[in-house]
């Protein structure tokens, strides 16, 4: 039934249905829609559950079986001809930032589903099963850290640590996950880290490079390294009108100058370093009271392990140098070295793009993805497609239907090829 | 009955009861206590109402009549011998910052009440009535602007504008005031701006100067000028890992550099300029999203009208110079020129301090006070007493019982003197 792999590959790729793929993006975009073009569908909220139910309904309509692991990672399986073979897995996430877009994560889920559907419609058997995966809490917006589900799956994060994590309102992952699983009943349970033959994730680039260089397909060579820091500055509240500046311990002034100093530290003429202060909170946050306390986060990324180490190791010293009488606590909350993807998978992506005459280029992923954790378990790769002006984590995030279809066709080629090896 | 004014003045001053004054501070400190040594008794909250009820109960125990105006300013009257004479008024406020101390405002209320009590206990009549006033919403923490009650009383702020002001939860002054008045029933209504012979307000310094120079009494020569600005920076949300820094419109980076630039603008080797960014809010406030929006406030003060004008007029340009591709809106939300107090009242304060052999010095008020608005209506002055390390707008705010008593004795001298003129 498997026949000539090249034929199967071509038939699946040809059966990819661009209109279905696009309509499904629109359908998912309605779940958690903000009314301003974007979505707020943070991890393990009712919106996340509703999106999972929609994907499960599409899977059920094809008779694909679903299973779930203990952190809520959701799997949808199309069986292969070899019952003993490990699956080829593809997918991404359905959760979003608080003001997220309609393609980040969702595209990888719907592209993988489209490949399963296309194989079914094309009546193409594969030796290995093809599985779609939806990873829990990739964004890390509501519950830190990011890529929680894949981290637990891969053994990089203990399950209990993840389950005990609380959001800003004190709700734990344990409680929110129980609600989500109750709202998306799946009987079959999956263990963590089961054998996977290969993992390929499709995603919008979330950066401007493919669009700017006229490329349709990004062959992702790896993921840049990431270090997160949480900086707490404790000064002393005082009256804004009476306390001479020389006698103040102003937590905001100290924090402002820390960020200013960190910008100098990370200044890079090649514009490769990614430095972001995304969270910045002031207490008591009253116009005429000198702030007594500031909390801010640092997100630092670089593809070169040594540069990332050198810059990250200086963060605490730069902050302390601007303490200005305040107490300073710097905690590294996340550290993720750069990841290199499988040369075999990269070659398959390049070959597929060439066969379809799609312009492609190698690219380093600026964002972290679940694929990072899979790279330690099996041959892993990622396929990027362009998004408008590189805007992502933003309600105006946009991708062209033709680019999404192109990415799904390349993904189909690669998955079928891997599933017949 | 008025007899020799000097005898009356001395008798009232001698009847000031330091222990009663201190115990009343402790009693008021229990209302809205945070459990960390301070209070949260923001304007027109149930705590504010409870403190008003306590003062009304003390006044009623002496048979002093109360009255209230349409913005909730509360008056307690000890009659004079001349029924046609305008009163001498003294007081301050009971409302606090969200993490406020036990002396800011409260001292001026309790010191004035103590003078009324002392006159009663000493059986000393004054020609003019003595009135205690409690001004509504001096702090401006919950409802902006500060000194709302005295501003409306003095005609500097239209009543309807004040009543329509909403707090962060959308509750208006109109609604909160109605609740407060219902909880503190006072039958007699007072018009705005009724004739006042003189106004003297006692207050803790809220700065470190008296303590550092060993002074007990500050003869306040005036109030430094104040300008408030609200700065809104609108950039574009983007993914922290993928968007090159050169392509970002990062509202936080722009705001940080604006504050950095404003610090350079306001740098002052004489440490006279007061520059504070007390409120600073970031959206969406997620560690891995480039901030799309920042709102911050600027509080700028100086005793010299021309310096304040020059610096304040540069705020918008300094912010715009750091826009970095973001939209910038700068709105001046409050402007209050420096205030000069009455030479007559200052002389009376100096003479009283000399009679009591209390070390005193002239001082400019760094904070705004309700006395600012009274200065346009009648001869006005303020008496400062030291507070520990100048810490105020802080739960650890402290003042010594002996200093509070000293301030109340000087206030008694000055009020009785003014009430017999």
Burial A107-137 (b: 16+ CB within 10 A, else e): bbbbbbbbbbbbbbbbebbbbbbbbbbbbbb
As a whole number of angstroms, the distance between CA A216 and CA A386 comes to 6
Residue B304's closest CA among B248, B249, B227? B227
Distance CA A353, CA A361 (A): 10
Nearest-CA distance A283 → chain B (Å): 8
Integer Cα distance of B206 and B18 in angstroms = 21
pLDDT of residue A1: 42
Task: Write the DSSP assignment of B248-298 as a string of letters.
Answer: -B-HHHHHHHHHHHHHHHH--TT---EEE---EEEES--TTEE--EEEEEE
Tell me how far apart the alpha carbons of residues A129 and A66 are, in angstroms, rounded to a whole number.
13
Q: What is the ipTM of this complex?
A: 0.75
Over residues A56-83, the mean pLDDT reads 97
Q: Are A45 and A143 in contact (CB under 8 A)?
A: no
3 state SS of A89:
strand
- CA A394 vs. chain centroid, Å, equals 14
Confidence at residue B249, expressed as pLDDT on a 0 to 100 scale: 97
pTM over 0.90: no
Proportion of chain B above pLDDT 70, given as a percent? 99
Picking from A40, A95, A242 by the largest number of B CB atoms within 10 A of its own CB, the best residue to mutate is A242
Give the one of B228, B236, B394 whose C-beta lies nearest to A238's C-beta. Answer: B394
**Distance, in angstroms, between B142 CA and closest chain A CA?**
9
Q: Whose CA is closest to A242, among B223, B310, B216, B43?
A: B223
Angle at A151 between CA A41 and CA A182, to 5 degrees: 50
User: The tokens of A114 are what?
Assistant: 């489209």
Closest chain A C-alpha to B411 CA, distance in angstroms: 22
The predicted-structure confidence for A225-273, as pLDDT tens digits, reads as follows 999 999 999 999 988 998 899 999 999 999 999 999 999 999 999 999 9
Query: With contacts defined as CB-CB under 8 Å, which chain B residues touch A241?
Result: 206, 224, 226, 274, 299, 301, 365-368
Q: Are B289 and A278 in contact (CB < 8 Å)?
A: yes
pLDDT digits (tens, 9 = 90+) for A76-109: 999 999 989 999 999 999 999 999 999 999 999 9
CB spacing of A290 vs B279 below 8 angstroms: no
The whole-angstrom distance between B392's CA and the closest CA on chain A is: 5
Partner-chain residue, chosen from B228, B250, B291, that has the shortest CB–CB distance to A287: B228
Q: In a structure prediction context, what are the per-residue pLDDT tens digits for chain B, which is 421 residues long? A: 445 767 788 999 999 999 999 999 999 999 999 999 999 999 999 999 999 999 999 999 999 999 999 999 999 999 999 989 999 999 999 999 999 999 999 999 999 999 999 999 999 999 999 999 999 999 999 998 899 999 999 999 999 999 999 998 999 999 999 999 999 999 999 999 999 999 999 999 999 999 999 999 999 999 999 999 999 999 999 889 988 999 999 999 999 999 999 999 999 999 999 999 999 999 999 998 999 999 999 999 999 999 999 999 999 999 999 999 999 999 999 898 999 999 999 999 999 999 999 999 999 999 889 999 999 999 999 999 999 998 888 899 999 999 999 999 999 999 999 999 9
Amino acid A239: pLDDT:
87
Residue B1: predicted pLDDT: 42
Interchain contact, A206 vs B239, CB within 8 Å: yes
Q: Are B16 and B120 in contact (CB under 8 A)?
A: no
Question: For residue A17, is pLDDT > 90?
Answer: yes
Which pLDDT value is given to residue A2? 44
Of B239, B284, B392, the CB nearest to A367: B239
Interface probe with A: pick from B243, B268, B365, most Cβ of A within 10 Å: B243
**Distance (Å, rounded) from C-alpha B351 to C-alpha B361?**
12
| Shortest CA distance from B255: residue in chain A | A256
A171 alpha-carbon distance from chain centroid: 22
Nearest to B207 among A226, A243, A257 (CB): A243
Domains of chain A: 5-224+338-419 (3.40.630.10), 225-336 (3.30.70.360)
- Nearest CA to CA, how far is A279 from chain B (Å)? 4
Judge whether residue A4 has pLDDT over 80. no
- CA-based nearest distance A53→chain B, Å: 27
What pLDDT is stored for residue B107 in this prediction? 98
What does the alpha-carbon distance between residue A337 and residue A153 come to, in Å, rounded to a whole number? 18
**Pairs of CB atoms within 8 A across A/B:** 256
Percentage of chain A with pLDDT > 70? Answer: 99
Contacts of B140 in chain A (CB under 8 A): 287-288
Share of chain A above pLDDT 90, in %: 91
Chain B residues in contact with A285 by the CB 8 A cut-off are 278-281
Q: Which residues on A lie below 8 Å from B226 (Cβ)?
A: 241
Confidence band of A8 (pLDDT split at 50, 70, 90):
confident
Across chain A, which distance is largest between two alpha carbons, in Å? 84
């Amino acid at each position: 039934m498997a026949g000539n792999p090249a034929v199967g590959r071509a038939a699946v790729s040809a059966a990819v249905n661009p209109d279905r793929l696009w309509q499904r993006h629109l359908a998912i975009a309605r779940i958690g829609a903000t009314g301003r073009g974007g979505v707020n569908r943070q991890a393990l909220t009712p919106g996340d559950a509703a999106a999972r139910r929609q994907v499960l309904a599409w899977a059920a309509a094809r008779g694909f079986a679903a299973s779930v692991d203990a952190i809520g990672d959701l799997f949808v399986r199309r069986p292969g001809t070899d019952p003993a073979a490990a699956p080829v897995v593809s997918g991404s996430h359905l959760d979003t930032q608080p003001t997220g877009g309609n393609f980040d994560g969702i595209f990888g889920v719907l592209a993988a589903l489209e490949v399963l559907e296309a194989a079914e419609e094309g009546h193409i058997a594969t030796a290995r099963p093809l599985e779609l995966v939806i990873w829990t809490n990739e964004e890390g917006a509501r519950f830190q850290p990011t890529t929680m589900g894949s981290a637990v799956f891969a053994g990089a994060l203990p399950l209990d640590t993840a389950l005990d994590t609380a959001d800003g309102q004190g709700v734990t992952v344990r409680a929110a996950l129980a609600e989500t699983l109750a709202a998306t009943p799946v009987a079959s349970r999956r263990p963590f880290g089961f054998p996977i033959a290969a993992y390929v994730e499709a995603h919008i680039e979330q950066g401007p490079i493919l669009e700017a260089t006229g490329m349709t397909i990004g062959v992702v060579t790896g993921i840049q390294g990431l270090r997160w820091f949480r900086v707490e500055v404790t000064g002393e509240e005082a009256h804004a009108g009476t306390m001479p500046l020389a006698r103040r311990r102003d937590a905001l002034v100290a924090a402002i100058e820390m960020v200013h100093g960190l910008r100098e530290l990370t200044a890079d003429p090649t514009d490769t370093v990614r430095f972001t202060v995304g969270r910045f909170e002031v207490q008591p946050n009253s116009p005429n009271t000198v702030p007594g306390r500031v909390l801010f986060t640092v997100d630092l990324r670089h593809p070169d392990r040594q540069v990332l180490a050198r810059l990250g190791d200086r963060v605490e010293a730069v902050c302390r140098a601007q303490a200005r009488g305040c107490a300073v606590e710097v905690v590294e909350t996340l550290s993720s070295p750069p990841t290199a993807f499988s040369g075999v998978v990269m070659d398959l992506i390049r070959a597929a793009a060439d066969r379809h005459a799609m312009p492609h280029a190698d690219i380093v992923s600026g964002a972290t993805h679940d694929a990072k954790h899979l790279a330690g378990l099996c041959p892993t790769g990622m396929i990027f497609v362009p998004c408008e002006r590189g805007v992502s984590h933003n309600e105006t995030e946009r991708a062209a239907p033709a680019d999404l279809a192109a990415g799904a066709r390349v993904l189909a080629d690669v998955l079928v090829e891997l599933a017949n090896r």
